[in-house]
Amino acid sequence: MALRCTDQHLERTGPVPGGSRITCCNLLSRPPVCDGGDGTNQFFIYNIATDTWSSGPPLPRGVFGAAAGAWNGKIYLAGGSSNFDSENVTHQVDIYDIASATWSTAPNTMPVATGLAGVAQAGPELYIVGGFNTNSPERNVRAMQRLNMETGTWQQGAALPAGRGDFALAATDTALYAIGGDTDGGSFFDLSDNVLRLERTQFASGTWAELPEPLPIRVQSKGFCTSAVTGGEIWSTGSWRGHNFFRSLSGERCASPYSDVPWLSTTPDAGTVAADRSRTLTVQVDAGNLEVGTHTATLVLPVSDGGVTQLVLPVTVEVLAGHTALQMSAGAEQTAVPGSISIHTILITNIGDTTVTPILSMQGNTWKTSLLDNAGTLAPGQSTVVEVAVQVPADALVGARDTVQIIATNRDGATLANASLTTTAGAFYGILVGPSAASTRGTPGLSVAYTLEVYNTGTTPDTFTVQVTNATWTTTAPAQVGPVAPGGRASVEVVVLIPLTVHGTATDAAEVRVTSQGDPTQQSSAILTTGVAHVSQLITPAGGTLAAPGFEVVVPSNGVSGDTMLLYTPLITPTVNLPTVYSFERAFVFEAILAGGVALADVTQPYEMTISYDDPTLADNAVLLVWDGQAWVDAVMACADIGCTVVARTSTSLTVRALQSGEFILARQSGGGVSQVNRMYMPRVVR
């Protein structure tokens, strides 16, 4: 009895002639065939369309348990035994030519003789794993063998962890699965329920891994891969118990019995044709890389017609010799500095009437030269650009020249076109400024200095122009520097004056651009970012402390209503002159800034501010003044009604309780006019 699967159901086919045990069938051949069985030389051919069997030419040998594969119009019969006895397994391989209906013996035999092995085909590769031999059933075959039916060569791969015979082998696009079968020892029917998996890419040195889920029962015999149920599944079918099992495979598809023909394609590649209708299938042939001569392929179209499983369309292409011609256009001569690389370009155009893949080579050059691209394949009228790199020697004299010839040939070595490229060692202007970026901070009213190095990276002495741009603070630099010898350097000092009126986080970025006077296109620049020297501290409503050298502010709990950034900036001198009743000792800016950049005039609750000094005589007559926008006023007296006061006077510091933020001065008062001045300039403002 024979079965076939249609629409996920098994149905009987016409009976196999002779009623013998057929152990070797191949359904990938066209037509499908079955060989041998019971050690006979019977050969049967099945017609799918008519559901009938016929006899073919007898096998060259009686066989039982051989492996079979089909490729390129030929059927390969490998190994097996001349009878049911595993003692008589053979290495022999026989080939049946379907077109001539003749058998021949292959020159390359199997590396390991075996019968009733696990067999699966993936494209032109026939996998034969395990099986029975003269040591069975005590020790079955572990070897994995692969026949490339396209080249007729054999390879041995990763062996099974233990011998196994009469089992199912299924192939997907990524893996092999060994399913059930007879294990070592005992009889020929010590069946297994485990399933092993091997990545096909690890054929040579991989390891078979056991799947965690075994078969529901112990089985042997046949199996295969389908895409009929879940898109990818392996089957264990029949067995002497008559059970069928399948396992769904996530992300895997069945190995295709076909191979890609790179020069053949169709449009569309899939579709539907209604009953009694037709549809045009465009067959496209790309002969661009084909040799002159005859090329054949078979286009297979699987169909869902109940009586026909596939349509077979033989394709024959005759490639004729055409007119092959190229045109190569080189760019202008290049001049490059010694030690540098010059990049040339060549435009290659196919001016013939055939597709060509030119092979490029070089000759005639003494300087190091490299082809950076291949021309690729060019259709008639198509062009491509190829780059060529020429290394000018570091010791080349100015004016030295080197020429390289680029030659394009075909596969036969015939020259199609050529072009010459010339490179000259020339004078070169170059400049580099370092560092390219620098930053520092300073005190308002003072200057900071940067030192930049200007390097002559050219091949000739050069003088450089120095220009400062984008600066809002006064920034000065020399107008030029040089001349500087090739490979030499010169220093440039840039001075930035920090305005007295800036404080806190204020910055200014100046660009210092240096230009070659020999070649004004050669420029290099540095960005100098100058900031104000300050100390900052984030204060929350819970309070906190801002500390700086000789200065401290302690903010009490609820001293600020929200997160507030406190900043302290020392000043060299006040931005506004003092009244004559005071003498200047120390100036600074104390700021309170809310999130979002809103500056506060006063904090919520008075803070304690301590200012240190070195002159002990200040202990009795030091006063803290704040600029209220119109005049200098006593910071303590301005808010005395809400608790502002002098907390402590010592020989080294003054501590006050105050409320304001802004510009402050620690001053020395003279005479008794301090309070009078304060009263004059500090009218009480309701906040």
The pLDDT assigned to 684 comes to 33
CB neighbour class for 29 (10 Å; exposed up to 12, middle 13-18, buried from 19): buried
- Round to whole Å and give the CA distance between 307 and 96: 27
Question: Same structural domain for residues 663 and 651?
Answer: yes
Number of domains comprising the chain: 5
Question: Same structural domain for residues 509 and 541?
Answer: no
User: Percent helix, strand and coil across the chain, each rounded to 5?
Assistant: 5, 50, 45
Q: Is residue 40 part of a domain?
A: yes
Read off the CATH number of the domain in which 512 is found: 2.60.40.10
The strand pairing partners of 590, in sequence order, are 568, 662
Q: Is residue 218 part of a domain?
A: yes
Question: Same structural domain for residues 656 and 563?
Answer: yes
- Round to whole Å and give the CA distance between 201 and 206: 8
Residue the block writes with tokens 């022999």 = 92
Q: Which residues contact residue 306 at a Cβ distance below 8 angstroms, ignoring those fewer than 6 apart?
A: 6
Q: Where are the beta strands (DSSP E) in 79-222?
A: 93-97, 102-105, 118-122, 125-129, 144-148, 153-156, 164-165, 168-171, 175-179, 182-183, 195-199, 209-210
Q: Is residue 667 part of a domain?
A: yes
The pLDDT assigned to 514 comes to 97
Q: Is residue 686 part of a domain?
A: no
Question: Same structural domain for residues 82 and 128?
Answer: yes
Q: Is residue 152 part of a domain?
A: yes
Q: Model confidence over 9-45: pLDDT tens digits?
A: 445 555 666 554 445 555 445 555 555 556 688 888 8
Q: Look at residues 532, 549, 580 and tell me which one is the last residue of a structural domain.
A: 532
Q: Which of 349, 357, 356, 358 is nearest to 381 (CA)?
A: 349
Q: Model confidence over 192-251: pLDDT tens digits?
A: 888 999 999 999 999 999 998 887 766 666 666 666 555 556 655 555 454 555 555 666
Question: Same structural domain for residues 217 and 111?
Answer: yes
Question: Same structural domain for residues 420 and 449?
Answer: no
Question: Same structural domain for residues 660 and 629?
Answer: yes
The pLDDT assigned to 431 comes to 95
Question: Same structural domain for residues 382 and 448?
Answer: no
Residue 2 tokens read as 């024979």
Question: Same structural domain for residues 498 and 584?
Answer: no
Q: Look at residues 513, 532, 551 and tell me which one is the last residue of a structural domain.
A: 532
Q: Is residue 577 part of a domain?
A: yes
Whether residue 475 contacts residue 494, with contact meaning beta carbons closer than 8 Å, is answered with yes
Read off the CATH number of the domain in which 26 is found: 2.120.10.80
The pLDDT assigned to 34 comes to 55
Q: Which residues contact residue 253 at a Cβ distance below 8 angstroms, ignoring those fewer than 6 apart?
A: 172, 173, 227, 231, 232
The pLDDT assigned to 8 comes to 47
Read off the CATH number of the domain in which 649 is found: 2.60.220.30
Question: Same structural domain for residues 20 and 31?
Answer: yes
**Domain of 147, in residue numbers:** 3-248
Question: Same structural domain for residues 663 and 565?
Answer: yes
Q: Is residue 186 part of a domain?
A: yes
The pLDDT assigned to 673 comes to 39
Whether residue 161 contacts residue 196, with contact meaning beta carbons closer than 8 Å, is answered with yes
Question: Same structural domain for residues 97 and 159?
Answer: yes
The pLDDT assigned to 682 comes to 36
Q: Is residue 352 part of a domain?
A: no
Pick out the chain residues at pLDDT < 70.
Answer: 1-39, 217-251, 255-259, 304-310, 671-687
The pLDDT assigned to 663 comes to 93
The pLDDT assigned to 400 comes to 93
The strand pairing partners of 153, in sequence order, are 148
Q: Look at residues 407, 425, 443 and tell me which one is the last residue of a structural domain.
A: 425
Run of H or E residues at 510: strand 507-516
